[in-house]
Amino acid sequence: MSVIMHTVHVDLAERSYPVYIGRDLLAEPQLLLQHLRGREVAIVSNTTVAPLYMPRLRAALGEGRRVTEIILPDGEQHKTLATLEHILECLLADRHSRSTTLIALGGGVVGDVAGFAAACYQRGVDFIQVPTTLLAQVDSSVGGKTAVNHVLGKNMIGAFHQPQAVLIDTNSLHTLPARELSAGLAEVIKYGLICDADFYLWLQQVMPRLIGRDDSALAEAIERSCALKAAVVAADEREGGLRAILNLGHTFGHAIETAQGYGSWLHGEAVAVGMLLAVHLSAARGWVDPCEIDVLSSLLRQAQLPLDIPAGMSPKLFLDLMGRDKKVVDGRLRLVLLRSIGEACLVDDVSASELEGLLQGAVARVKSAG
Amino acid sequence: MSVIMHTVHVDLAERSYPVYIGRDLLAEPQLLLQHLRGREVAIVSNTTVAPLYMPRLRAALGEGRRVTEIILPDGEQHKTLATLEHILECLLADRHSRSTTLIALGGGVVGDVAGFAAACYQRGVDFIQVPTTLLAQVDSSVGGKTAVNHVLGKNMIGAFHQPQAVLIDTNSLHTLPARELSAGLAEVIKYGLICDADFYLWLQQVMPRLIGRDDSALAEAIERSCALKAAVVAADEREGGLRAILNLGHTFGHAIETAQGYGSWLHGEAVAVGMLLAVHLSAARGWVDPCEIDVLSSLLRQAQLPLDIPAGMSPKLFLDLMGRDKKVVDGRLRLVLLRSIGEACLVDDVSASELEGLLQGAVARVKSAG
């Protein structure tokens, strides 16, 4: 193979799998073919991504296969049980057997709902991820989480279902809208904050190159992010404890997404604001230096990400929505905070008044900015 | 504990669990309580079973818990994605967390859909089965298969999700309609046919006592059935090979259920007819003595089960519906046959003409009976 490729191994015993990262990987059929065990393939994509990359993927699959294309409408608002049902119906109508392989070609929404379909169809079939957004590449394609949303909560219905392989063709980032590139960078920044201070420093240096879509900087950021996530997931596949640190900023972020309706704020944008809230709280507890608030604010700004909660979102609404989070255990809210930059911890002793103070501060910043 | 209780251990490494079998087990709170890890419980039942057993189950749970009751309409026609969604919505509306436990109180339909809900809710929560029909006690409560039906195929959407424990209170069999008792006996007979010739002989002797609801005979039949199924499942949790023998008669049976619409024929009734077809085919291949057709016919008749396929169901319709079965691998139909009584095998070399001959014979028997 003549392409430059990095491989991250996700180590999960008999469910281990490789993540291939590089340019033009879709033009390398053998990467895909070695992971297909039957003749049947179903490709799930969406109306935005399919016109751009479906022909290349079909070409890589070669002749002699029975391929079903399932094209979803684009957007987080379609990550629902109804879409799941549509995929399952297409598989049934085309009589896919247990030896079929589902391939998700698209961003996090396509990967999450197609992965859940692969988990449910005939109680589980093979699955390959071809993530085409930065967010999906560094986050949802590693770790086996699949899910759909419900009006009462995000990612509340789903399964753990590990893929056979993940194929990240960095070419796809050149067609990605700027806002989605930024949303992906929020998750990249997260890995630095929770478990790698050196990576966090490196990001502060290369952010202009990342925003400028420099290929080698992007490939390195993706590889390091996937490797950090893979290490966390390998240590805790089913989120018994450690894995929860990957949710830095997510409890606040999910509340924002739910309040605004899915699809209005991008996931990464909500997480960016959530991470900054978590750093505020960590600084208020004396765990990180208050100047880290400015460092992160500056980095998020360079990454063209929002810093403030949505105008008009009250502390009460936040608290109400956060009470529905999956991280609530026996009525206690668990939050990911930072002990220091590069070291996250899970706490369950955040008091209502501590949260209210934090959120009132956030509301005040919105008002002063607006 | 003063009750007489049998325990079958289902051995699946860290997913192992006990099946408790005995009279009045619902009156023994500690059996349940030792398997609950949180304060939250959701009980899924149906309109037939809940009035009979819900008060006893609630009493066993004691005070100090947050309990949500989710009562489904009764019947296989409700084993759908819509019902799954209803259960998940109730859990979300009552803000059940990841540490909740779902308890299925009812027959196979309740167990399958509640188990699937437990598998999907927040990507998996604890699950306890309290099966109240003989069919659920000897079949669906052991092995972790959960599913819902689709108009294009039965049990096509689901997950493997092992329970924390199964509690079989044989008292529940005294309120079971006669037709459902018979349907359960079809699966009991199946265990003898596929893996235990001695058990098959014993069933021929005790069938009048089983139909007469003799407690000790029923308890023994349940225990031996669960132990046989547990051994098969332990050897092959995710149906790589051996576990498929549990489907004796099911490929034919599912075709009957699909053709008639779910809920018209009971699952066990369809399986009874399917097993007899499988024995016909095994005899035609010279693997079992043709007299075994009469032995099984007589046993099914004693168990008050049907022997013939539905009137008017053509061989073509059978073949068409069987082509959609989960046991089709890369286009080849796999069928469970008998090498001898007590020894099943999986074959993939049944020719179309062999199947047509079998089904034309079945049609002829319906006509001569009608």
Q: Give me the pLDDT at residue B3, please.
A: 61
CA angle A314, A140, A349 (to 5 degrees): 45
CB A236 within 8 A of CB A242: yes
Domains assigned to chain B: 5-175 (3.40.50.1970), 178-369 (1.20.1090.10)
Taking the C-alpha atoms of residue A23 and residue A17, their distance in angstroms, rounded to an integer, is: 20
Picking from A28, A27, A19, the residue whose alpha carbon sits closest to that of residue A224 is A19
Q: A238-242, A308-312, B117-121: which range is least confident on average?
A: A238-242
- In tens, the pLDDT along B225-263 reads 999 999 998 888 776 678 889 999 999 998 998 898 766
Other CB atoms within 10 A of residue B207 CB:
22
Mean pLDDT, residues B262-274: 89
The question of whether A123 is a catalytic residue gets the answer: yes
Q: Is the dihedral of CA A31, A35, A41, A45 positive or negative?
A: negative
Catalytic one of A239, A343, A354, A356: A239
Count chain A–chain B contacts defined by CB atoms under 8 A. Answer: 102
Taking the C-alpha atoms of residue A74 and residue A283, their distance in angstroms, rounded to an integer, is: 39
Q: Which residues contact B364 (CB under 8 A, 6 or more apart)?
A: none
Residue A242's pLDDT band (cuts 50, 70, 90): confident
Query: A330–B152: do the CB atoms touch at under 8 Å?
Result: no
Residue B369's pLDDT band (cuts 50, 70, 90): confident
Which residues in chain B have their CB less than 8 angstroms from residue A239's CB? 123
pTM listed for this prediction: 0.87
Using left for φ > 0, alpha for ψ between -120 and 50, and beta otherwise, residue B166 falls in beta
Q: A179-183, A273-277, B215-219: which range is least confident on average?
A: B215-219
The question of whether A28 is a catalytic residue gets the answer: no
Taking the C-alpha atoms of residue A20 and residue A166, their distance in angstroms, rounded to an integer, is: 6
Residue of A nearest to B149 (CA): A122
Q: How far is CA B368 from CA A79, A243, B203, B260, B318, in A?
A: 54, 65, 29, 21, 20
- In tens, the pLDDT along B125-144 reads 999 999 999 999 998 878 89
Query: A330–B39: do the CB atoms touch at under 8 Å?
Result: yes
Query: B40–A328: do the CB atoms touch at under 8 Å?
Result: no
Mean pLDDT score of chain A:
92
- In tens, the pLDDT along A117-168 reads 999 999 999 999 999 999 999 988 788 999 999 988 888 999 999 999 999 9
Picking from B240, B236, B168, the residue whose alpha carbon sits closest to that of residue B5 is B168
